[in-house]
């Protein structure tokens, strides 16, 4: 019997149709690279690499789970975000490209400040926002809050992996809870999908609903955080909130009612969708 090779395994993938997977060959190559501990470029340029019988079986088992809808990042146990590698499991939300834009907005503001800055990442999940900010801005100290103890375990692991644990304090809390510490910057990617929409999305069956369900209007937690910000955001501080695209005008109106006199802007993401509330306390 001839040796199994990557070329043969990828050929098996190519012969089938996978309507639910946009780029099956690319994802199969990512799985193979991770399994063999090789760069993806090596996998693509050297398809003659042999596979042991055990390696092929493990790859096919993972690929079967992928074709059944199991998210690729959970199969890998990691995902890339803002140029960094983050550990993931099914207890945390998979980071999205739009949230990288939130990090960029926050870094732009942080770099305009003089001296040390205190920031809060509310609903930190995997810690991808807090860790990315800490890695890219050495003057920031962050409180990363989450209601899920399991999510905080993942976030702590990511902070250790990127050597920023000394500047991030992880706090088990429902938003700010009763804490009254004041921050220069607040960032949050809270659960924001309206329940009626979420009920029809595949993501609700694959990722933690706790991190997705924003209540009937998608703004349950956003509104609560807006109220709390009156106590915890410093004067001349900034808050950046990621929101669901269909809730932009409602979020803008709610923010104006809760925070009269504050400077509030609704900003679109790179795809042209309402995505961020940027709030400056005058």
Question: Could you give phi then psi for residue 229, rounded to 5 degrees?
Answer: -65, -25
CB-based contacts of 201: which residues, under 8 Å, 6+ apart?
A: 193
Is the CATH code 3.30.70 the one for domain 4-70?
no
Residue percentage of the chain with pLDDT more than 70: 99
pLDDT score recorded for residue 75: 94
Question: What are the strands, taking DSSP E only, across the chain?
Answer: 4-5, 50-51, 78-81, 84-87, 117-122, 140-146, 168-172, 183-188, 233-242, 263-268, 274-280
pLDDT score recorded for residue 79: 96
Strand partners, 171: 145
Which whole number is the average pLDDT over 47-68? Answer: 88
Task: Count Cα atoms within 13 angstroms, Cβ side, for 231.
Answer: 11
pLDDT score recorded for residue 1: 41
Which whole number is the average pLDDT over 64-91? Answer: 95
For the stretch 226-241, pLDDT in tens is 999 999 999 999 999 9
pLDDT score recorded for residue 178: 82
- Check pLDDT > 70 for residue 212: yes
Per-chain mean pLDDT for the chain: 94
Q: Do domains 4-70 and 89-280 have the same CATH topology?
A: no
CB-based contacts of 22: which residues, under 8 Å, 6+ apart?
A: none
Give Cα 186 distance to the centre of its chain.
16
Residue predicted with more confidence, 36 or 150: 150
To 10 degrees, the CA torsion angle through 64, 70, 90, 61?
0
Give Cα 146 distance to the centre of its chain.
13
pLDDT score recorded for residue 74: 96
The CATH architecture that domain 89-280 belongs to is 3-Layer(aba) Sandwich (3.40)
For the stretch 3-38, pLDDT in tens is 688 888 888 888 888 888 889 988 998 998 998 888
Which whole number is the average pLDDT over 173-196? Answer: 94
Look at strands 233-242 and 183-188 and give their pairing.
Answer: parallel
pLDDT score recorded for residue 121: 98
Determine which helix (DSSP H) or strand (DSSP E) holds 269, and give its type and residue range: none
**What does the H/E/C string look like for 130-184?**
HHHHHHHCCCEEEEEEECCHHHHHHHHHHHHHCCCHHHEEEEECCCCCCCCCCEE
Give the domain ranges of the chain. Answer: 4-70, 89-280
Question: Could you give phi then psi for residue 27, rounded to 5 degrees?
Answer: -65, -40
Q: In this structure, is the dihedral angle defined by the CA atoms of residues 126, 127, 133 and 135, taken in order, positive or negative? A: negative
What is the model's pTM?
A: 0.93
- Check pLDDT > 50 for residue 2: no
- Check pLDDT > 60 for residue 83: yes
Which whole number is the average pLDDT over 155-174? Answer: 98
Residue percentage of the chain with pLDDT more than 90: 76
């Amino acid at each position: 019997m001839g040796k199994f090779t990557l070329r043969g395994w990828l050929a098996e993938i190519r012969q089938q149709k996978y309507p639910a997977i946009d780029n099956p060959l690319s994802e199969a190559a990512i799985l193979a690279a991770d399994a063999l501990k090789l760069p993806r470029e090596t996998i693509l340029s050297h398809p003659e690499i042999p596979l042991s019988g055990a390696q092929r079986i493990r790859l096919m088992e993972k690929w079967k789970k992928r074709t059944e809808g199991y998210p690729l990042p959970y199969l890998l146990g990691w995902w890339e975000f803002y140029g960094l590698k983050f550990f993931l499991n099914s207890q945390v939300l998979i980071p999205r490209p739009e949230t990288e834009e939130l990090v960029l907005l926050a870094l732009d503001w942080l770099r305009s400040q003089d001296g040390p800055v205190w920031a809060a990442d509310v609903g930190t999940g995997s810690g991808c926002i807090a860790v990315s900010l800490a890695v890219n801005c050495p003057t920031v100290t962050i409180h990363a809050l989450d209601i899920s103890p399991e999510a905080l375990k993942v976030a702590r692991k990511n902070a250790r992996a990127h050597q920023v644990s000394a500047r991030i304090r992880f706090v088990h809390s429902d938003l700010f809870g009763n804490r009254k510490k004041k921050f220069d910057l607040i960032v949050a990617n809270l659960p924001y999908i309206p329940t009626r929409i979420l009920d029809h999305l595949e993501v609700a069956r694959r990722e933690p609903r706790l991190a997705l369900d924003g209540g009937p209007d998608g703004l349950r937690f956003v509104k609560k955080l807006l109220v709390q910000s009156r106590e915890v955001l410093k004067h001349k501080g900034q808050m950046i909130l990621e929101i669901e695209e269909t809730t932009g005008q409602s979020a803008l109106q709610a923010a104006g009612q809760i925070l009269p006199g504050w400077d509030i802007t609704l900003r679109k993401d790179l795809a042209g969708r309402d995505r961020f509330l940027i709030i400056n306390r005058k």
